[in-house]
């Protein structure tokens, strides 16, 4: 689950990470009121969408008068912002963050993530903030510094100093960086985050470090521990099909291909998608229906897959362990009838009562192609989609 910038900065404040003064606004009138409350003569109007690259796409603008604040707010709210991360369709802008203007002396990069290779929480820092960190890593990799935190010892101040001096900061800023990183680490652990990114982390004219931007990704599997934060989910920023899958308890990710995939088990789902690609096809989705692939769940999964108008064939690959293959076959046939499916369905079953399940499929009289092994099934699905 991703957070908006204004939400992420609220968490930053709770853990002592300094951020600019800012106020959320959902109308031009609220934007002007926010600017008046903040005071000053320069404000930054920021579109709140779940995507990076907002500035380059016109979603972050400087206003030097209250009239400009109102005009910019009016031009952004109710529109869609398309960045490199969103694709051409963009994401809807329903809220803005109005922030005070600041005297920026330097821009840094700082992020926290789970490093699966070392099985630790790692900080990544760079003196090249405000840029695409991927470009920095490619052109000047020596400017990307990493510190992995030992989970037994927890965050240590010397690790922040090591990163700070490596980024070229003076001692006062390094001392401040210790506080920033300590707060981020505590927040990362306490809120079950998977990624935190500040780009840029700025040095102001007064020598302070402030998180000018804020991105936080949280582990969905831990949201039951954070019901207050779970309420911050903005479904308008997510794929409609993925939202529907979330509501009915299915694991679904939309992709750009034309072969709908329905599998039980995440590992088997990944292998299924790999086989489709290997034989020249393009998966339309990742869909894990879970161990209990009942008739009802299968029917919901079919409807979810068919919500994409790109799908030309459906590949069902299910291992009958918890649920017998004959019951799964019965569910598939019932689902095909219920949905009124007209496109071909390739089904590969393995497991308990597999022969009975295959027989039911072959005798159903429906447009269902039964396959014995994964390679044969993948080839059949690719051919059916063509």
> Could you list the active site residues?
109, 197
Q: Tokens 């009124």 identify what position?
A: 340
Peptide bond into 200 cis (omega under 30): yes
Q: What dihedral do alpha carbons 85, 87, 89, 92 form, nearest 10°?
A: 0
Q: Which residues pair with 25 in a beta bridge?
A: 96
Rg (Cα) of the chain, in Å, rounded? 25
Which tokens sit at 224?
A: 């039951």
Are 324 and 331 contacting, i.e. CB atoms less than 8 angstroms apart? Answer: no
3-state secondary structure (DSSP) of residue 197 = strand
H helix count then E strand count, the chain = 13, 18
* Chain centre distance of CA 153: 30
* Chain centre distance of CA 191: 16
- Distance between CA 109 and CA 199 in Å, rounded? 5
Are 357 and 329 contacting, i.e. CB atoms less than 8 angstroms apart? Answer: yes
- Distance between CA 177 and CA 204 in Å, rounded? 13
From residue 292, alpha-carbon distances to 295, 320, 328, 380 in Å are 9, 9, 9, 26
C-alpha distance across the termini of the chain, in Å: 36
Q: Tokens 């002592």 identify what position?
A: 16
């Amino acid at each position: 689950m991703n957070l908006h910038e204004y939400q992420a900065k609220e968490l930053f404040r709770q853990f002592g990470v300094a951020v600019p003064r800012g106020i959320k606004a959902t109308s031009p009138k609220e934007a002007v009121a926010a600017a008046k409350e903040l005071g000053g003569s320069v404000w930054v109007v920021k579109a709140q969408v779940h995507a990076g690259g907002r500035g380059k796409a016109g979603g972050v603008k400087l206003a030097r008068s209250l009239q400009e604040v109102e005009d910019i707010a009016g031009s952004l709210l109710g529109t869609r912002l398309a960045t490199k991360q969103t694709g051409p369709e963009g994401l809807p802008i329903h809220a803005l963050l109005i922030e005070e203007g600041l005297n920026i002396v330097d821009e840094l990069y700082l992020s926290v993530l789970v490093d699966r290779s070392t099985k630790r929480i790692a900080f990544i820092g760079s003196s090249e903030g405000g840029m695409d960190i991927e470009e920095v890593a490619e052109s000047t990799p020596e400017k990307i510094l990493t510190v992995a935190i030992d989970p037994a010892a927890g965050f240590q101040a010397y690790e922040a100093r090591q990163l700070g001096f490596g980024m070229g900061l003076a001692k006062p800023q390094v001392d401040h960086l210790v506080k920033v990183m300590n707060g981020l680490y505590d927040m990362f652990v306490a809120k079950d985050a998977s990624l935190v990114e500040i780009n840029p982390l700025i040095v102001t004219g007064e020598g302070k470090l402030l998180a000018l931007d804020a991105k936080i990704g949280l582990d969905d599997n831990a949201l039951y521990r954070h019901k207050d934060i779970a309420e911050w989910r903005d479904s308008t920023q997510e794929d409609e099909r993925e939202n529907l899958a979330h509501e009915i308890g299915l694991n679904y990710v939309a992709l750009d291909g034309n072969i709908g995939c329905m599998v039980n088990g995440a590992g088997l789902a990944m292998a299924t998608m790999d086989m489709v690609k290997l034989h020249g096809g393009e998966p339309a989705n990742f869909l894990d229906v879970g161990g209990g692939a009942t008739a009802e769940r299968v029917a919901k999964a079919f409807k979810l897959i068919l919500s994409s108008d790109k799908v030309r064939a459906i590949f069902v690959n299910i291992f009958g362990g918890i649920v017998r293959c004959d019951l799964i076959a019965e569910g598939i046939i019932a689902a095909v009838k219920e949905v009124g499916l007209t496109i071909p369905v390739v089904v590969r079953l393995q497991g308990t009562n597999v022969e009975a399940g295959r027989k039911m499929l072959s005798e159903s009289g429906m447009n269902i192609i039964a396959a014995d092994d994964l390679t044969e099934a993948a080839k059949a699905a690719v051919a059916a989609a063509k």
